[in-house]
């Protein structure tokens, strides 16, 4: 985890506020009949209007401001001419940069009226984040995030966690060490990450990715980006940029709706 200077933290707080406001803007204007590319443009136009920039663009040669994942698409959905329908859920994952510092967050939105099951999935995914957040403080191992989320999902039943995709550190770069799994690590390749401890004046992104149902099998769509449930399971994703402080944590990308 790379420590941030006081100036960098100030810039990150500003970028985080703009990203939170971007989600409010999307929530207020999202409608059935829009395409996912229109959602992406709406987000980018708003970010630029606030004198910031979309920091997803160009990372790994990605050409858009957001990932827009619909229904069974759990992460990395590439914006297209796909038309949103009443009852869909859409996950918008987005980054805002300011003065060379990045923030990253994600929300799953309802398109019009959705089923109680879809709303409960959104709520459960958000709850995963906040249960993990309660455990994060300086000196605590990264492993606490995955243990907390997996423990919660196992207790309530009926849901599963996307594995092999993780949260991450953040700062000058969108993705920095350590990786932060949302599940208990059983792969020795990730042990070096989960054994690291949270440090003051660093920032991380915690981002549970949850399926309705007990299968987490996925495939990557032909576009090379979009990760899709093989079973067509409804999926949701929730993320915030978190600043680790000397005394605890500060969520930098919170909006009124959280």
Give the mean model confidence (pLDDT) for residues 141-164.
97
Task: Say if 44 falls within a structural domain.
Answer: yes
Is residue 256 included in any domain, yes or no?
no
Which CATH number is 97's domain given? Answer: 3.90.230.10
pLDDT digits (tens, 9 = 90+) for 186-209: 877 899 999 999 999 999 999 999
Of 247 and 111, which is predicted with more confidence? Answer: 111
Instruction: Read off the pLDDT band of 184 (50, 70, 90).
Output: very high
- For residue 249, the model assigns a pLDDT of 97
* In-domain check, residue 258: no
Give percent of the chain with pLDDT exceeding 70. 98
> Tell me, what's the pLDDT at 257?
60
Q: What is the pLDDT of residue 1?
A: 82
Model confidence at 220: pLDDT above 60: yes
* Residue 33: both structure tokens together: 């009949």
Residue 207 has a pLDDT of 98
pLDDT on residue 256: 60
Question: How does residue 179 score in pLDDT terms, banded at 50, 70 and 90?
Answer: very high
pLDDT level of residue 258 (50, 70, 90 thresholds): low
Give the residue, 7 or 258, on which the prediction is more confident.
7
For 88-98, the pLDDT digits (tens) are: 999 999 999 99
In a domain, 1, yes or no: no
Q: Indicate whether 255 belongs to any domain.
A: no
- Residue 215 falls within a domain, yes or no? yes
Q: What is the mean pLDDT of residues 50-66?
A: 97
Domain count of the fold of the chain = 1
Tell me the pTM: 0.96
Confirm whether 254 is domain-assigned.
no
What's the chain look like in SS3?
A: CCCCCHHHHHHHHHHHHHHHHHHHHHHHHCCCCCEHHHHHHHHHHHHHHCCCEECCCCHHHCCCCEEEEECCEEECCCCCCCECCCCCEEEEEEEEEECCEEEEEEEEEECCCCCHHHHHHHHHHHHHHHHHHCCCCCCCECHHHHHHHHHHHHHHCCEEECCCCCEEEECCCCCEEEEECCCCCCCHHHHHHHCCECCCCEEEEECCEEEECCCCCEEECCCCCCEEECCCCCEEECEEEEEECCCCEEECCCCCCC
Specify the range with the lowest mean pLDDT, choosing from 8-17, 80-89, 182-191: 182-191
Domain that holds residue 38: 6-247
* pLDDT surpassing 90 at residue 111: yes
Assigned domain for 168 exists: yes
């Amino acid at each position: 985890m790379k420590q941030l200077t006081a100036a960098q933290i100030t810039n990150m707080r500003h970028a985080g506020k703009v990203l939170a406001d971007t989600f409010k803007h999307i929530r207020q204007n999202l409608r059935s009949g829009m395409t996912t590319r229109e959602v992406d443009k709406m987000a980018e136009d708003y970010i630029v209007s606030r004198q910031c920039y979309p920091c997803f663009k160009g990372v790994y040669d990605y050409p858009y401001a957001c990932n827009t994942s619909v229904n069974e698409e759990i992460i990395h959905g590439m914006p297209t001419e796909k038309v949103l329908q009443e009852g869909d859920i859409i996950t918008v994952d987005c980054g805002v940069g300011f003065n060379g510092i990045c923030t990253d967050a994600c929300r799953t939105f309802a398109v019009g009226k959705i089923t109680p099951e879809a709303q409960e999935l959104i709520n459960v995914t958000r709850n995963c984040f906040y249960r993990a957040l309660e455990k994060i403080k300086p000196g605590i191992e990264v492993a606490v995030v995955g243990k907390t989320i997996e423990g919660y999902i196992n207790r309530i039943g009926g849901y599963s966690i996307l594995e092999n995709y993780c949260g991450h550190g953040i700062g000058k770069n969108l993705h920095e060490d350590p990786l932060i799994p949302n599940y208990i690590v059983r792969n020795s390749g990730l042990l070096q990450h989960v054994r690291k401890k949270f440090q003051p004046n660093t920032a991380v992104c915690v981002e549970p990715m949850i399926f309705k149902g007990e299968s987490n099998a996925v495939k990557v769509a032909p576009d090379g980006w979009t990760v899709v449930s093989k079973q067509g399971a409804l999926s949701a994703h929730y993320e915030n940029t978190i600043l680790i402080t000397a005394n605890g944590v500060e969520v930098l990308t919170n909006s009124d709706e959280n």
